[in-house]
Structure 1
Amino acid sequence: MPHSAKITQSVEKKFAKKICVFLLLWLTSYFIYAQEAITHPSAPPDSAKKKTEIFFSFDARNSFVANKDVRIGGAKIGLEFRDKYRFGLGIYAMDPPIFSQVLLNKGTASEELYIYRIEFSYFGIFAEYVLFSNRKWEFSAPVIFGIGETRLFRSKDRNAKIWETRPKMGVNLIEASITGHYKIVYWLGVGGGFGYRNASTDFALLKEHFDAPIYIMKIKLFIGDIYRHWKKRKE
């Protein structure tokens, strides 16, 4: 088996193990919550009306990639269960691209210095547990399992008009964070948070760049509340 194929399989196995661990933790918390609900069936009558809701939010985040502060814009949509659990999908892209210097064949007669331009985007599945919530404030712990792709270009001159296109590289990642928001009006909230991103890839340069802290700024639309407000006005 080629060496590169072995590395890829190793990365995939490590990433699969991480996903299994996170899913196990989330399933454990779910069953604990379910057991509490059975043991203490004293929920208010209105809780049955809010078992499941659709929600949407912009999910911009900043991170340190290649020692630079970069913005990763995105949005996510999903379902909320019992005001406590959220699951859904998100899509993200880094803008603008980052640049990184790489010295190839170091210490040899063919040593060359290249500048790599890196573009990055990813698709994510997320799970989120609400830690605290009241009428205006909320704090939660989201985890994103992402499958991404980097587009690589290189040149010896950063101002070059034509860059050599390199093969695309896949990046699997896990982002864990703590976030919070403040509800300004019934349909709109603003918030932020912090966390860490762990990347799995067989390209050392990308691993080095994308393993990094993240901080989050977001605008949240409360679609469920918008719908209930609209429905109430029609009645």
Structure 2
Amino acid sequence: MRTVLVGGGLLLAPIVAQAGPLPAVAEDTTFVRQSHRRAVFQFDQRFSILNGKVVGINGVKGGIEWRGRWRAGLGVYRLSGGVPTRVTQPVGTPAGTRDEVRFRYLAGYGEYVFIGNPRWELSLPLQVGIGNYYTKYTFPDGGVQRTNNQILYLVEPSIAAHYRVFRWVGIGAGTGYRQVFASGELPEDQISGYIFFGRVKLFLGDFIKVVRGHERLFSQKGLERK
């Protein structure tokens, strides 16, 4: 407080201290804060080494993300090619017959983002699924025969990362393990195993906002460092 003489009178006026520059606030990379829900969609290409062969598992999945930290949804997967079996062929099978194990499954997934910012993130996905497998026989004369479908169950814990190229699309990769169970006799061929995957991730909610707002499709808006 200071005293100022004005026209013969006294005026008490507070002294306002000159504030210095505010300290810089470190960027929070704990997780991406989003108060609203938004739809997410992924082309989820997975690979495994089964019976000594690298095979692809094609999949798509979609779901809902909320608070920028939790995701849940459904996915559909199918083995892109057969896995050569290690099982002895049935008696009477013609010489030169090619036999392959094939499988497909439907999976529910949950995903927790434990660190990230608007540009990138690390997360822990978990998939639980149900599907079927069968063996396909291709005979030398071109004929095809397949066994009856057998039910299988699976659990796939993994760790994943993605990087947003633009606000509405990103690329990612990860690794994990597939553990397969069966309701009946377990397949003699290897279906359980390590997985590694790449993905293209489309953020549908952000894409719709960009289109409706007539924004530049390939801008970096919302991804710049603060």
After TM superposition, the score normalised by the length of structure 2 is 0.72
Q: Specify every segment of 5 or more residues in structure 2 that has no aligned partner in the other structure, as ranges.
A: 1-32, 216-226
* Selected match of 1:228 from 198, 201, 209: 209
What is the DSSP-based 3-state SS (H/G/I as helix, E as strand, rest coil) of the residue aligned with 1:60?
A: strand
Task: Give the AA of the match of 1:176.
Answer: P
What is the DSSP-based 3-state SS (H/G/I as helix, E as strand, rest coil) of the residue aligned with 1:230?
A: helix
Looking at structure 2, the residues matched to 116 and 59 of structure 1 have their Cα atoms a distance apart, in angstroms, of 27
Matched, 1:148 2:135: no
Looking at structure 1, the residues matched to 47 and 175 of structure 2 have their Cα atoms a distance apart, in angstroms, of 9
**1:12 — aligned with what?**
none
**1:61 — aligned with what?**
46
Task: Give the AA of the match of 2:69.
Answer: K
* Selected match of 1:196 from 158, 170, 177: 177
What is the DSSP-based 3-state SS (H/G/I as helix, E as strand, rest coil) of the residue aligned with 2:81?
A: coil
**Matched-pair identity in %:** 28
Matched, 1:90 2:72: no
Alpha-carbon distance, 1:204 to partner: 3.2
Looking at structure 1, the residues matched to 146 and 46 of structure 2 have their Cα atoms a distance apart, in angstroms, of 28
1:29-79 per-position Cα deviation (integer Å, ceiling 9, x unaligned)? xxxxxxxxxxxxxxxxxx6x7321111111111011222100001111001
* Selected match of 2:102 from 119, 122, 126: 119
Looking at structure 2, the residues matched to 99 and 211 of structure 1 have their Cα atoms a distance apart, in angstroms, of 15
Stretch moving more, 81-90 or 225-234:
225-234
Please identify which structure carries the higher strand content.
2
Matched, 1:177 2:158: yes
Please identify which structure carries the higher helix content.
1
Looking at structure 2, the residues matched to 198 and 140 of structure 1 have their Cα atoms a distance apart, in angstroms, of 20
Alpha-carbon distance, 1:117 to partner: 1.8
Task: Give the AA of the match of 1:200.
Answer: F
1:101–1:115 contact (8 Å) kept in structure 2 = no
Looking at structure 2, the residues matched to 214 and 51 of structure 1 have their Cα atoms a distance apart, in angstroms, of 32
2:51–2:86 contact (8 Å) kept in structure 1 = no
1:102–1:116 contact (8 Å) kept in structure 2 = no
1:127–1:143 contact (8 Å) kept in structure 2 = yes
Q: Which runs of 4+ in 1 moved over 4 A?
A: 110-115
Greater C-alpha Rg:
2
